[in-house]
Amino acid sequence: MVSGPENPSPHIPPCAEITGMGWAAPGVASGTAVVCNALSVFPIATPLSYASHRARFMHSVRTSFPRPTCFRHSGSGGNEPDECRQRKRPENQGGNRLIVTEYVQISIETLHTFLSRVFVARGFNAADASFIADTLIDADRRGISSHGVQRLAMYDHKLRHGMIDPNAHATVVSDVKACAVLDGHSGMGQLISRDAMELAISKAQNHGIGIVAVRDSNHFGTAGFYARMAADQGLIGLASTNSNPLTVPTHAGLPALGSNPIAFAVGQGDDQLVYDAATSTVSLGKIEVLVKLGQPIEGDWAVDGQGLINHDSADVMDNIKATPRIGGLTPLGGAGETNAGYKGYGLALMVETFTGILSGGLLSLDMRGQHICHCFAAISLESFGGAPLVGSRVAELSRRLRSMPSVDGHDVLVPGDKENTAFRINTTTVTVDEATFRQLAKIGERTGIAAPPAIALDEYR
């Protein structure tokens, strides 16, 4: 049944050594700024550097905030009006919008040391701890704040409660030519996924393509990280995962599918094209960040139990955490059929097939925060003219798209541009929201490890 594995990872024992593996599914600091106003929203979706925040904020002040009701420059105490302090579900969310925007800038080096030490304290060896820290910081550097250190509290919770086994390594369930299935044994999603993508890359180098489905893993962070691993080696990379039930099928009022992202990467260096997104309208992480900032949801990202659009970020989070869950994320395209949300629903189902179904693991529908399934694929470009040729054609296509005239004042971009730009800017520091900053401090206290301090923002003084 199982052929000899091509096994690039010292962590994955060859399938021949695996016996009895069936297919049953496994069971402010100082220096922050607060800005409030009743009628506008500060854009937080793709944070760049603090300077960019500042520039974008000042632009929005000039264009949208003719008379800001409060504007505090520094310190976490302050005497600002009560409404400026409000964080949890402002009463007027979705109507007159309350803005509470606080960000903290921290050094990447200090953050990396902190994260690595926390993960070592939670049972990982130093190399694995450092790798996990790399993945979280990579997300923040790229402006994907939904999946950077703001998720440390989630991982820490799962580690403390035995939902993630820091010592687990993937084992091979089945390995036939270009395809394999791994069992992650409830290990850390980032480590299991790294090893699975390494196996897919090695298979693609040998067979032209490699596809590795994984069961019983955990939350892996951004899908793009793993797709880029393959692209960096001159292949096409694909990565996906299922998750807790978060997304409502078209016409349903309960979540049944994960936010099930798909990441695709091709090309190298500055010309790398990376599409990395949920098959729900956005990831849940984006709503978590809005809750932390006390901001409503601008877009039609979520519905309540009746299928009505819900713009109240805190309410959406409460509903998603409720037992049973109520409402959820809209599939990509939106609620109902008007904007073809059934296509996002279909894409989410495709991901569910490649992850939960092909791996023989848990479906999103049955998931409760663990036993997550992934799928990784790598495609060799040897038969298609080779990586340099394909890369140059992709780069040329991207250049032609970017040179298209804009109709609304925003540049035409290609997927990956925002993240690549942010990555180039955020070389020494990253910006986190203040609630996340406080979470880091709390985890620091709990583990006895000094949390990274905020870097003073002189421009606000």
Ligand X SMILES: O=C(O)C[C@H](O)C(=O)O
- Segment interacting with ligand X (CB under 6 A) among 79-87, 89-97, 185-193, 279-287: 279-287
CA angle 250, 256, 259 (to 5 degrees): 85
Tokens 């932390």 belong to 292
Compute the least distance from the CB of residue 260 to ligand X, in Å. Answer: 9
Among 135, 145, 243, 398, indicate the residue that binds ligand X (CB under 6 A): 243
**DSSP 8-class letter at 254:** S
| Contact region with ligand NAD (CB under 6 A), list: 1-9, 201-209, 270-278, 423-431 | 270-278
**CB under 5 to 8 A by kind: which of ligand NAD, ligand X, none does 378 bind?**
none
- Report in angstroms how near the CB of residue 287 gets to ligand NAD at its nearest: 9
User: Which two tokens mark 18?
Assistant: 């695996």
Q: Which stretch binds ligand NAD (CB under 6 A): 48-56, 139-147, 348-356, 390-398?
A: 139-147
Interactions with ligand NAD, residue window 144-163 (CB under 6 A): 144, 146-147
Say if CB 319 and CB 245 are below 8 A apart.
no
Which is closer to ligand X, CB of 150 or CB of 250? 150
Distance of closest approach, residue 86 Cβ to ligand NAD, in angstroms: 25
Instruction: Print the binding letters for residues 289-318 with ligand NAD: x by CB under 6 A, - otherwise.
Output: ------------------------------
Told to check if 272 binds ligand X by CB under 6 A, we report: no
With CB under 5 to 8 Å by kind, the binding choice for 413 among ligand X, ligand NAD, none is ligand NAD
For the chain, the residue count is: 461
Helix ranges (DSSP H) in 322-405: 341-352, 358-359, 387-402
Alpha-carbon distance of 444 to 447, in angstroms, equals 5
**Whose Cβ is closer to ligand NAD: residue 72's or residue 325's?**
325
Q: Which does 144 bind (CB under 5 to 8 A by kind): ligand X, ligand NAD, none?
A: ligand NAD
The neighbouring-strand residues paired with 182 are 172, 214
Three-state secondary structure call for residue 379: strand
Amino acid at 276: D
CA 119 – CA 253 distance, rounded (Å): 38
Round the CA-based radius of gyration of the chain to a whole number and report it.
22
Candidates 37, 218, 259, 313: give the one binding ligand X (CB under 6 A): 259
- The correct pick among 104, 284, 422, 440 for binding ligand X (CB under 6 A) is 284
Q: How far is the CB of 235 from ligand NAD (least distance, A)?
A: 18
Q: How far is the CB of 30 from ligand NAD (least distance, A)?
A: 30
Q: Kindly identify the residues of this chain, within the stretch 201-240, that bind ligand NAD according to CB under 6 A.
A: 219-224
Start-end of H helices in 33-188: 50-64, 82-85, 108-121, 126-141, 152-160
Return all residues near 221 (Cβ < 8 A) that are at least 6 apart: 135, 136, 139, 147, 151, 189, 190
- Contact mark string toward ligand NAD, 401..430, x via CB under 6 A: ------------xxxx-xx-----------
Sign of the C-alpha dihedral computed for residues 218, 223, 225 and 229 taken in this order: positive
Cis peptide before 324 (omega within 30 of 0): yes
Asked if 285 touches ligand X (CB under 6 A), the answer is: yes
Query: Smaller CB distance to ligand NAD: residue 224 or 341?
Result: 224
CB 242 within 8 A of CB 256: no
Q: What, of ligand X, ligand NAD, none, does residue 227 touch, CB below 5 to 8 Å by kind?
A: none
Question: Based on CB atoms, which residue is closest to ligand X, 210 or 245?
Answer: 245
**Options 22-30, 66-74, 114-122, 282-290: segment touching ligand X (CB under 6 A):** 282-290
Q: How far is CA 268 from the centre of its chain?
A: 21
Q: Which is nearer to ligand X, 368 or 400 (CB)?
A: 368
Concatenating the DSSP letter of every residue in 48-87 gives --HHHHHHHHHHHHHHH-SS-SEEE-S-SS----HHHH--
Residue 101: partners with Cβ closer than 8 Å, 6 or more residues away: 33, 34, 35, 42, 44, 57, 293, 295
Binding site for ligand NAD (CB under 6 A): 144, 146-147, 219-224, 241, 243, 259, 261, 263, 274-278, 282-283, 285-286, 413-416, 418-419
Binding site for ligand X (CB under 6 A): 146, 243-244, 246, 259, 278, 283-285
